[in-house]
Structures are given as structure tokens and as C-alpha cells.
Structure 1
Amino acid sequence: MTTYLYDGVEFDLTRSFVDVIGVEWEWRGQWNEAGEPLLVSPGLPDSPVPLPDVYRDHGPLIPVSPRPSAAQYRAAVDVDYAKTVAAGYVESPTEFAARITPVTPTPALTAHHLNPSPMEQTGFRRFLNSIAGGTR
């Protein structure tokens, strides 16, 4: 494992790094005169930049996890259906629908959910009586 210590952080140069905006950087075995590793972005392979400059200008560098191999992808996707059924992980469409459909009662409206009648509002009856010329 090739490592480089900078600013108290040990960088494993065998891994790729991503800066804070998502640009990937990798070391291709080059060093500058000061003994600093030169990182390149796959988008600009002919423009190597020293790791301290990338670290300073592009924020902290986040190591990229190793990517799964084709065999690992295949193992994750290829599933023995018979073993899945035997283990009890398969349900009928009806069982699935019952499991994912929330059972909530339909709300029933009661009198306190409704707006009050205009006749019950303060002053409205008085207003009507004043129009009609009546008294309270």
C-alpha cells in the first residue's frame, strides 16, 4: 500500500478520491520534484495536480470505496428462486397488497369539523335584523 501523509491525514494512494463537488481524482504513480503525489482527474488526464493543491483548492478528499467486481454484481443479482421460496421470502400478490396497504379508518365528519353557520356568528343576526328594520 502506498500512502502519503499530508496535514495529519494519511492518504492511501491506491484508492481514488472524490472532492466535495464530486470530481474523481486518482494517483497514477507520478511524483513532482517536491515529493508530492500528482493526482489526475479522468476528465483531464494530461493535467496532473499535486495532492496538497487538490486538497487545498477542492476541499477534503473522500476515498472512493472499491467497486464490486462483475462476479460480485452477478452474485447479488442471481438468486436461487427455489431457496427464496423455501426460506419463506415469497408472498402472493394478495399478501403483498395487504402488507403494504395501510389500514386506516375513513374519517367521519362530525359537527365540530364544519364551519359555524352564519346565523350563529356574532353580530350577523343583529345585522339581519337591522336590514329588516326589526329589533333584537
Structure 2
Amino acid sequence: MSEGYPMTLETGKIREFARATGSSAPEYLREPAPTIPVTFLRTSIFWMPPDGPSLFGDLQLDLRRILHGEQEFVFFGPPPRAGTELTVTSRLGGVTEKEGGRGGRMRFVEIVNDFLDESGRLVARSNQTLIETGKAPS
């Protein structure tokens, strides 16, 4: 598990994200302290320190062959609002392999991100699956 890093939910960033995803919902664009769109937490990667510890350790993933397989967000209450300071901790959920067709053997890497508020309460969790294809694209 990573030590955690801060993610400050800023009004401007929430509005930029809502506009970028085509939303016109007033709760994102007009409220003084807007709630986050549920997929906004995907942007937590931009708050990750560049020198932070890698979750991938000895997996030796070939980034040229990585696909974003799926991602889900689970909230343990209402989505947080602008002004909230979250702490993001990440851990490797598991690694499995499966024989593929044209792409050869595939590796499925699950990454779990927990989002804690200032009191340490779990606000949300993201479960993401990355897929490493067995062959480089031709």
C-alpha cells in the first residue's frame, strides 16, 4: 500500500472536468461548492507525486501493451464537495493471467485506490483493471 498523497477538491478543477465530459449539470457548474462528478476521482493520478513508490514493483509491465480494462467507483456516502481534502492510498489488488486469442497471454492487474477524508473516513474506492497484452501491437 502506498503512504498516501493529498488530493484537494478544487471548484475550478471540478468545473473543468464537468465541461470536458460534456456535462451541463448545475450541481457541477453553478454551485459555490460543487459536488464532484463520480468519475472525477480518476484524475487523482494528477495529484500523485512523481517520485512516489510504484505499485507495480517487480511486475515489469510493458507500457506499450497496456490497456485500460475497466474501472468502477464505489461511494460510501454522498460524493464529496469542493473544499474537501482527500488522502489517496493505492494498493495492488491482484494479478491474474489468461490465455488470449490474437494478443497472446494477457495479464490483468487490479489497482485499488481508497479516498479518505480529513477525519480518515473512507469516502470512496476505485477499482481499476489494467490489461497487459501478450504481444506488442504490429
Q: Choose between structure 1 and 2: higher strand proportion.
A: 2
Q: Choose between structure 1 and 2: higher helix proportion.
A: 1
Q: Give the alignment's TM-score, normalised by structure 2.
A: 0.21
Greater Rg, structure 1 or structure 2? 1
Q: Give the alignment's TM-score, normalised by structure 1.
A: 0.21
Larger RCO of the pair (alpha carbons < 8 Å, separation 6+): 2
